[in-house]
Structure 1
Amino acid sequence: MSVNVNDADWQKIQELFAKERQWMTAQMQMHIREVNSMFADERKKVRERYKEYDGCYLGYYAQWFFWLFFVLGLVIFGLAIFLILDSHYHWTK
């Protein structure tokens, strides 16, 4: 099947396609600019969040992991001191 289109109509079709392509390109560029500005805002928020922790923010779970072993170490250290004192003084009734 073939379609015959005269030159004036073909030119009009090409112009419409060019306008549509130009409009789509402008819309995509606008969308990309919006997304880039959203990413920039998010980077600023993250930077501010890190500043709250003076640059040593390790994340929620890493902090809990650190505190768990820190407290566990303190308990073991205290227990060792207690056992040393207990063996030295021989608490008797």
Structure 2
Amino acid sequence: MTSGHFEPEFQSPITGDMERQRLVVRAQVQGTRIAAIWQVLLPFSRHVEHVDIKTFPERGFEEVEIALVQARRELLDAILARFNSMSWVMSTRIY
């Protein structure tokens, strides 16, 4: 498997300060690495409002949805880059 990729068709414009954004990280069923997610989020924890993990076994993937508040573009770019560098990540998207 190659490293994760960003799903641009789901991207909303990211400019300046954002009140609320949702970042979704998708992996194969039983492929999500919870410890790795927390390692990525720890430096940005003051921006994390909520984390929701969903499993869709019939579709073959699971998602971690991370609600972020007041996250600047640079912060979102850093988080996306960290997740997309991980081999277990299938895709990421922001909305």
TM-score (norm 2): 0.19
TM-score by length of 1: 0.19
Higher strand fraction (1 or 2): 2
Between structures 1 and 2, the one with greater helix share: 1
Larger-gyration structure (1/2):
1
